[in-house]
Chain A
Amino acid sequence: MPASLRKELFATPLDGVVTVLLITGLAAAGSRLLHWALTQADWAVIQANSTLFAVGRYPIEQQWRLWLLGALLAAAAGLSWGVLRGLALPDRPTTALWPRHDRLAASLLVLLAAWAPAALGLTLTIQSRWWGLTGLLLLVRWLAGRYGSRLGKTAPLVLPMVWPLLYLVGMVLIGGGLGLVAVGANEWGGLLLTLVQASFAILLSAPLGVLLALGRRSSLPLLRWGSVVYIEFIRGAPLITLLFLGQNILGFLLPGGMAPDRIWRAAWILTFFSAAYLAEAVRSGLAAVPRGQLEAARSLGLSLPQALAKVVLPQALRIALPATVGQFISLLQDTTLLSLIGLLDLLGTARSVMANPLFLGKSAEVYLTLAVLFWCCCAALGLGSRALERRLNPPSLGR
């Protein structure tokens, strides 16, 4: 046994015993799980309902719009990935086109695209579409990495524009309008609905959260107390209670019959909820920026809004980035609560699938698949956040 491994696992007799116990326990549990997954589990429930899980009851003849949106998303993701990778770190001025992590990620994506659609029992045309999407993502990534440096300084500024624009285009593609057939919101479901809700809430709660954080630190009493009351009220209430409030009370707060669709009610509640928590994250970022920054900016002749926008906020947002992305990850996870108010998001669709007579009792398979799906999405977001943080807060600059 190599010396380093021995030092890590068997340094003392107690360590050795603990290691042996853990290894045998893990091996036993792991083999039983594998045995169950390969022999006893009935994965037909996932295969038969993969469309339902992915897009709910979206009309089949309009699903080409979702494929188009998927292609746009793949291109945007590849672009972001390539440009971010091209951003030079201070301690590493030139980066290889495909560093080790990227090669690993790319090969994982290729493997996933090759295995998953086939395992789900999808038709060959749909499988080839998934291969096409993955190919597009990797192609754009390569192009962006190769030629992105020509964009120069404007590159990191272009990226934050691409995603909100893509969101608007996506909403038109999904919902209809501009010549496309309208698809009502109550036909969206599954992963589509989860992503629509999460992206709506993320995009709208970000500016609202920043405004609330600024308001909380404002010297104007009305703004400060208004922000404090709002933030503390939202933070004191469980999300399910607020969703309940939104579903039941919103209809009474607006003139009769004008209540927005249940889906948008829930999306607005998620936005208001997330804005309060974001405000706290941004507030801690604002507090970490030395007061001297604001004073220096004002003494240079910048007005208060200008000083905040150009000097204080960029630094504060950079510091608050991990907490902010953490809040976004929580938001993605909180969309599962929509199933408790009867909406057919991913978890809600899963529960309604299990009500189908054919699939009664297959809860383990369905929940495990959902858990893996969520874990991958949230872990990917976390990894992306850490990579972004390393680039925006280089350790060598110090604070």
Chain B
Amino acid sequence: MASRLGKSPPWWQNRRLLPWLVQASVGLVLVLVIAFLLGNLVRNLSAAGLLLSWRWLGQPASFDIAETLLPFNASQPYWRGLLAGLVNTLRVVGLGFVGATLVGTLVGSASFSGNGLVKRLARIYVELIRNIPLLLQLVFWYFVVFLALPNGAAAIQLPGIVLAKSGLFLPGFEAGFQWSGPTLVDGVWQAPLRFTPEFGALLTGLVVYTGAFIAEVVRGGIAAVPKGQWEAATSLGLGPLPSLRRIIIPQALRVIVPGLNTQYISLAKNSSLAVACGYTDLYSVAETSLNQTGRAIEVIVILLAAYLAIDLVISLLMNGLNRLVQIKER
């Protein structure tokens, strides 16, 4: 071993060289693989006559979309159809955030209720929903629950609200600031505010599923607050609700908000399963566009970019919220 002293180590033990060698080889492999794939891609696309182009976005779409906030008809271009799909996605995602947070908070706090039955029910709900795939739940809600509702005059009628096979009808302001409720015209329900069963099934499925996960996050957050805080609050004379509001929740939020970030992003991505319910969200419109134009690469790029953008926006907002709730230690 004395002969090794003073000499530079062999190349496989040279600590300065090794990182560069490893990176160079990894980089080379990556470059070769990408070149191979891209070469095949270009060759196959040109053989099929489908080289990358974006002009098809301006062509008339020739298909209609069932329900859109953004007015759209078949003579308008593809990009407008995709935008309408995106608006539909945002619509269900936004309402989904509200609903899932409400359900999750309710069920999560119910785990700490004094009532044993309520606690167990919350536990059963979470364990049940978490272990059944979301897609199965969605098709169940749509085909078994919403499509089994009665229609026409036999619909479920509550004061101001009508639940029928053709949708959920709510009162609202008609054109001209007139408040009116659901009315039965020719056996068909009409109302100012109307939700289709497709939207209803998707929203219900997403809220129930994500609500279970958010309940776990909330429960973990509240459980992370040391028990001493509860006891101190009680000994200060605060009742259960004020102590929850002023002492426990602010501390629990520290743990809850990062977890909520993950769940919100998961909800936004899960909304792409709308195609199973017949709701025309972004993925559904993109799939239709792909079928009618054959432009696979461009459509997939648009889809990935859109969902990535949605995730980034959600992360940004939640990071801002996170900074607000982080308690600055002394």
Q: A220-B19, A220-B22 are in contact. Are A241 and B131 (CB under 8 A)?
A: no
Q: Does B102 contact A (CB under 8 A)?
A: no
Q: Are B23 and A248 in contact (CB under 8 A)?
A: no
> Which B residues touch A334, using CB under 8 A?
133
On whether A374 and B273 interact (CB within 8 A), knowing A223-B23, A237-B308, A367-B140, the answer reads no
Write the chain B residue with the least CB distance to A11. Answer: B114
**Which residues 23-80 of A sit at the B interface, judged by CB distance below 8 A?**
23
Once A22-B117, A223-B23, A367-B140 are accepted as A-B contacts, the answer to whether A238 and B131 lie under 8 Å apart by CB is: no
Interface-lining segment among A109-117, A118-126, A251-259: A251-259
B121, B270, B297: which contacts A22 (Cβ < 8 A)?
B121
Check B44 against A252 for contact (C-beta < 8 Å): yes
Interface contact B300-A245, CB-CB below 8 Å: yes
Q: Which of A18, A222, A351, A363 contacts B23 (CB 8 A)?
A: A222
The contact string, 1 if C-beta is below 8 Å from chain A, for chain B 18-53, is 010011001100100000010011001101100000
- For the complex formed, measure the closest distance between the CB of B84 and the CB atoms of chain A, giving whole angstroms: 18
Contact of B116 among A8, A223, A336, A374 (CB under 8 A): A8
B127 within 8 A of A: yes
B283 within 8 A of A: yes
The answer to whether A375 and B139 have CB atoms under 8 Å apart is: no
Give the residues in chain A near B44, CB-CB below 8 Å. 251-253, 256
The contact of B139 among A233, A255, A367, by CB within 8 Å, is A367
Across the interface, do B37 and A253 meet the contact criterion of CB distance under 8 Å?
yes
Asked if B128 is an interface residue, CB under 8 A from chain A, the answer is yes
Q: How far is the CA of A220 from the CA of B137 in the complex (A)?
A: 44
A19 contacts the other chain (Cβ, under 8 Å)?
Answer: yes
Most chain B CB within 10 A, of A222, A240, A370, is at A240
Name the B residues within 8 Å of A363 (CB-CB): 139-140, 143-144
Question: In this complex, which of B41, B135, B300 has the most chain A Cβ atoms within 10 angstroms of its Cβ?
Answer: B135
Minimum CB distance partner of A10 in chain B? B115
A18 touches B283 (CB 8 A): no
Cβ contact within 8 Å between A241 and B283: yes
Assess whether B243 is interfacial by the CB under 8 Å rule.
no
Main SS of chain A's interface residues?
helix
A-side contacts of B140, CB under 8 Å: 363, 367-368, 371
Complex Cα gap A245–B303 (Å): 10
Contact residues on B (Cβ < 8 Å of other chain), bracket: 35 or more
* Mask: chain A, 203-224; 1 = CB below 8 Å from B; 0 = not: 0000000000000000111110
Q: Given A15-B114, A255-B40, A374-B133, is A249 in contact with B296 using a C-beta cutoff of 8 Å?
A: yes
Flag whether B233 is at the interface (Cβ < 8 A): no
A220–B25 Cα gap in the complex (Å)? Answer: 13
Band of interface residues on A: 35 or more
User: Is B132 part of the binding interface, using a Cβ–Cβ cutoff of 8 Å?
Assistant: yes
Tell me the complex Cα distance, A18–B290, Å.
Answer: 53
**Cα distance A5–B144 when bound, in Å?**
37
Residues of A within 8 A of B127 (CB): 379
- Is B40 within 8 A of A339, CB to CB? no
A364 within 8 A of B: yes
B185 at the interface (CB under 8 A from A): no
- How distant is the Cα of A237 from the Cα of B302 in the complex, in angstroms? 11
The verdict on A244 contacting chain B, using a C-beta distance below 8 Å, is yes
- The A-contacting residues of B in range 67-103, CB under 8 angstroms, are none
Q: How far is the CB of A273 from chain B (nearest CB, A)?
A: 11
Contacting residues, chain B, for A99 (C-beta < 8 A): none
Could you tell me the distance between the alpha carbons of A325 and B296 in the complex, rounded to whole angstroms?
Answer: 35
Q: How far is the CA of A245 from the CA of B272 in the complex (A)?
A: 14
In the complex, A379→B19 CA distance in Å? 44
The B258-313 residues at the A interface (CB cut-off 8 A) are: 265, 269-270, 272-273, 275-276, 283, 287, 290, 296-297, 300, 303-304, 307-308, 311-312
B117, A248: Cβ atoms under 8 Å? no
Q: Does B136 contact A (CB under 8 A)?
A: yes
Give the 7 A-B CB pairs with smallest separation, nearest first.
A8-B116, A378-B131, A333-B133, A238-B269, A238-B272, A236-B308, A222-B23
Q: A220-B19, A240-B272, A340-B275 are in contact. List 15 more A-B contacts (CB 8 A).
A: A9-B117, A18-B117, A18-B118, A220-B22, A220-B23, A226-B26, A238-B272, A238-B307, A240-B283, A249-B297, A253-B37, A340-B135, A368-B140, A375-B128, A379-B127
Q: List 19 A-B contacts (CB under 8 A).
A: A12-B114, A18-B117, A19-B115, A22-B118, A223-B22, A233-B304, A236-B304, A236-B308, A238-B269, A238-B307, A241-B307, A248-B300, A251-B44, A252-B44, A252-B48, A256-B44, A333-B132, A333-B134, A340-B135
